Structure 1
């Protein structure tokens, strides 16, 4: 195929399904998983609670729950449900699993920050993500079973995961960032092609929350010397 042939393609040519097919995936996974979604809700509540308990162990456990959320949403939704109709989604699904492994490694090998976080700001942003973003798919589909829950839907999981930038340090943080950016660009392009305007809020929010994660990150203590 010549370069001129490639230039004749548009984004629409690489999306072989319509918005209703995509939105139906959220309904299917919620129906198939019921009632295990309760565990995802518990994790969404437990992560901010653990992050602000005294002691590094609680913070590491919160990062561990986030690692599980990355892996479950990647393998469950992207590989299992979305991958069969969109091959790049399967690649991203395995990248989500790898992101979970990366967080688990950061948890085990000292990549979790022990400094104090701004409790009110972090919780406010977390609640916006965990309680607000899941309703965007419902707004597009009109079906309450289509809620895009944290730990199940990759968009909501990635947006919440962007805030975890605040508690991981050193090279772990820089290894963690690329997938957040790449997933946001990929999903934004897909939602644009599908003309699901409400869903565009999620990738935009993810990129903004990456910046918020840096802003909320504990500052290193400075010596008077």
Structure 2
């Protein structure tokens, strides 16, 4: 038997890029018209951020992480990836942490215009750019990745809220881990969007670290 360190990520991926993106189509078709509700929830999240409504934003994100755990990780993705149940558990845990943030009496948006601009740019990428990746890549609109049903746009939008409300660092751990896992998986599959979520994560972290020390949780 080969030693464990001789294995690469490719040895554990038992699916192709075509099969991977097909999972989003299965979710969108099976749950239609819920993808439209996901778009509406994303719009509500953006409005919550613009209005500094922290409780609403984190409540929406908690629901979105739970929905992804149920509809995607415990659904079609579990059919092609044996790690999906563990991802589902992680997304449920993050939903609990986000619900805790929603229950807190809330701080408003950072006073820094630059930091706020970064957060709003991130949420725009999550809600508007991600659904366009499928047609831009020559795939069907049914394979669009929608906030609240697909993991990557949901995680990306979460970085915006974590930054804008200076969330405690433990809330960053699972989004960062998923960003690394998703980026590595997509890179191994040769998907052109492999860099996007890791880049969003790096931008969010850099912006958070640039905040004055006394404003960080």
The alignment's TM-score, normalised by the length of structure 1, stands at 0.82
Hey, what does 1:39 align to over in structure 2?
Answer: 37
* Post-superposition offset of 1:93: 1.8
Following the alignment from structure 2 to structure 1, what is the Cα–Cα distance between the partners of residues 109 and 24? 37
Hey, what does 2:178 align to over in structure 1?
Answer: 183
- Runs of 4+ with >4 A deviation: 215-221
Of 68, 71, 75, the match for 1:76: 71
Hey, what does 1:95 align to over in structure 2?
Answer: 90
Hey, what does 2:202 align to over in structure 1?
Answer: 208
Hey, what does 2:147 align to over in structure 1?
Answer: 150
* Post-superposition offset of 1:166: 2.1
Following the alignment from structure 2 to structure 1, what is the Cα–Cα distance between the partners of residues 182 and 152? 8
**Counterpart contact for 2:122–2:156, Cα < 8 Å:** no
* Post-superposition offset of 1:79: 1.6
Distance 1:7 1:59, change over 3 A: closer
Q: Deviations over 1:155-184 (max 9, x none)?
A: 111111111112444xx5211111122111
Residue correspondences, number = 212
Of 50, 53, 67, the match for 1:52: 50
Find the residue that maps to 1:22 and give its secondary structure: helix
Q: Deviations over 1:81-115 (max 9, x none)?
A: 102211222211221111111110122134x4224
**Counterpart contact for 2:110–2:164, Cα < 8 Å:** no
**Counterpart contact for 2:110–2:165, Cα < 8 Å:** no
* Post-superposition offset of 1:60: 0.5
* Stretch deviating more after TM superposition (122-131 or 173-182): 122-131
Of 108, 117, 132, the match for 1:114: 108
**Counterpart contact for 2:126–2:153, Cα < 8 Å:** yes
Following the alignment from structure 1 to structure 2, what is the Cα–Cα distance between the partners of residues 151 and 34? 13
2:158 is the counterpart of 1:164:
no
The alignment's TM-score, normalised by the length of structure 2, stands at 0.85
The alignment's C-alpha RMSD in Å is: 2.5
Hey, what does 2:6 align to over in structure 1?
Answer: 8
Hey, what does 1:134 align to over in structure 2?
Answer: 131
Following the alignment from structure 1 to structure 2, what is the Cα–Cα distance between the partners of residues 9 and 67? 36
* Post-superposition offset of 1:204: 2.1
* Post-superposition offset of 1:189: 1.4
Unaligned stretches of 5+ in structure 1?
Answer: none
* Post-superposition offset of 1:219: 8.8
Unaligned stretches of 5+ in structure 2?
Answer: none
Q: Which has the larger radius of gyration?
A: 1
**Counterpart contact for 1:70–1:97, Cα < 8 Å:** yes
